Amino acid sequence: MLPNLQLLDAELLERILSEAFTLIWQRGVTVQAPEATDLLVAAGARVEGGVVHIPESLARKSIDTVPREFHLHNRAGEPVVKYGGDSVQFDPGSSCVHILDPGTLQHRLTQSADLVRLVQVAEMLPQYAAQSTAVVCNEVPKEIGDLYRLFLVLWYSDKPIVTGAFSPHTAPVMIDLLVADSGSHAALRQKPRAIFDVCPSPPLHMSEFASQNLIDLARAWVPAEIISMPLSGAAAPVTLAGTVVQHAAECISAITIHQLAQAGAPVVWGGAPAIFDMRSGITPMGAVETAMLNLASAQVAKSFGLPTHGYLIGSDAKCLDAQAGQESGVAAIMGALGGINMISGAGMLDSLACHSAEKLVLDAESIAMAQRLLQGIQPRTESLALEMFAKAGAQGDFLKIPETRKYFREEQHLPSKVIDRGSLHSWEQSGGKDTLTRAREQVKELVAAYKRPAISLQVENNLRAIMTEQVKRAGMTELPGI
C-alpha cells in the first residue's frame, strides 16, 4: 500500500466541479487576447461586455483532449520527469528577486552569478528532478530577463527545466533557445526539455499576455503549466472549498483556450493557490491551509486524470531557522502524499521573494524524507522477521547478519551532512555547528564538485549566437554569468 492523502470526499469533489463549471458559464472569465476570445466564441462560448462565458460541454470536451501523461527530458533525451498519474517530483522555486546572501545573511538583489550557483547546487542534488529559472538576473535588462535566465540554465544544467515567459516578446526567443538546445523543432516536440508556466490573474482573469502565451505554447507543442493563484479571502473566496472552486475554474478556462489552439498539446493543471494572511497581507506559503489548497486542487485534476503541479516547500521565514525547516518539511510531506506531479518552491524564503542555495540543500532533505515516505513499508524479505531472528541468535545481534547490510540502504534514507544525527560529543567536537553553518558547508562542497555538462560545440555556438544578438539589442556587451 502506498501512502496517499485525499482531502475531498466524493460529494465535495462533485460540488466543487459543479460550481467551477457554473462559474465559467454564469459569471464568466475575462480573456484579453483577441485571438483567444475568437477561438472560444468559434467553439460556442458567449461574449458579453468583454466577459467570455464558457459552456460546460465545451470545457469538458477540451479537458478530454489533454494528454494524460507526458515526459520532460534531460539533455541526453531521457524521459526523467513524468507528468501524469501519481508520480511526485520536485524543482526549485522560480523568479525570486532576492537571494539570501550566505555571508551577510542579507536579502539582496539577485544577479546572474546567484542563478548560476543555484543551478549548480540543484544539479548536484538528485532530489531535484528538474531545474527552474530560479531568480531574476538584475543586471540584465528586464526585456530579455526571462530568456537570459533560461539561457543560463541551459548552459549549466542537463536537467529538465521549469520556466516561463512573462513578457510577449521573450516567448518566441525562449522557444528558439530550446530548439537550439534540442537540435530541431521536431526533436523539441518529440522530447520536450522545458515546461512554461502561464499565470491567470485571480479571480478569473486571463491577461492578454497570458491568454496569447497559452495559444503560442500549444501551437509550438511546448508543454504549458497553468499557475492559478487564488488567494483565499483576498483574490478568492475565504473558504478553502471556495478557493478550490476558483482554482478549478481558472485551470479549466485556461485549458479550454490551450486545447482550442491545439488539441492534444501537453498542459498541466497547476498553480500556487494560497491563503491570504489577514494580519500581514502576504500569501503565507508555509501555512498548512496553503498546502491543503494545493492537495485539494491536485485531487480535482486527478478526478479527470490530468497531470498536476503545485507550489509548496517555500517558507515565510526570512532566514534558515526553525520556522523554515518546519514549514518546508511539513509541506514537502503533504505535497508528496497528495501525489502532485511537480512540486515547485524549494529553496524559497520570505513568501517566495527570496531564494537560498543553503535552503535548497536543507529542503533536499525534507524532499528525501517525503520520497522515502512514498515508498511506504515493503515486505522485502520472505519472512518479515522470523528468519532474521533465527540468524541473529540469542543475543539478537542484528548488526552482524547479512540482511542488515543488504537492506539498510533501501530501508533508510541516509541524510547528507546537513542533518546532524551524531552524538552530542561528536557535535561539540566538530564545532557545534547549526543547520545554517552545515548547509553553507554543503553548498560549498557541492559547488566545488559540480562539473558543467558536456554540451556539443554546435549547440553551445547556437545558444551563444541567439543570446549575443539579444543582449546586444538590449544594449549590453557581454554575457554575464558565462
| Chain residues in the site for other proteins (CB under 8 A) | 95-97, 107, 109, 136, 142, 166, 201, 205, 207, 233-235, 276, 278-283, 350-353
- Our CB check for other proteins shows the closer of 101 and 428 to be 101
CB of 91 to other proteins, least distance (A): 17
With H, G, I as helix, E, B as strand and everything else as coil, classify residue 55. Answer: coil
- Our CB check for other proteins shows the closer of 97 and 447 to be 97
Residue linked to cell 465535495: 12
- Residue 94, number of CB atoms within 10 A of its CB: 25
381 CB-side CA count, 13 A: 15
CB of 301 to other proteins, least distance (A): 24
Residues 6+ apart with CB under 8 A from 436: 319, 320, 358
- Our CB check for other proteins shows the closer of 208 and 403 to be 208
DSSP structural state of residue 422: S
- Our CB check for other proteins shows the closer of 202 and 335 to be 202
- Our CB check for other proteins shows the closer of 96 and 368 to be 96
CB of 228 to other proteins, least distance (A): 14
With H, G, I as helix, E, B as strand and everything else as coil, classify residue 457. Answer: helix
- Our CB check for other proteins shows the closer of 402 and 475 to be 475
- What is the residue-wise DSSP string for 160-229? -EEE---STTHHHHHHHHHHHHHSSHHHHHHS--EEEEE-PBTTTEE-HHHHHHHHHHHHHT--EEEEE-
- What is the residue-wise DSSP string for 320-350? SSHHHHHHHHHHHHHHHHTT-SEEEEETEET
CB of 44 to other proteins, least distance (A): 28
CB of 146 to other proteins, least distance (A): 10
CB of 338 to other proteins, least distance (A): 25
Alpha helices in 221-287 (DSSP H): 240-261
| Max intra-chain CA distance, the chain | 83
CB of 355 to other proteins, least distance (A): 10
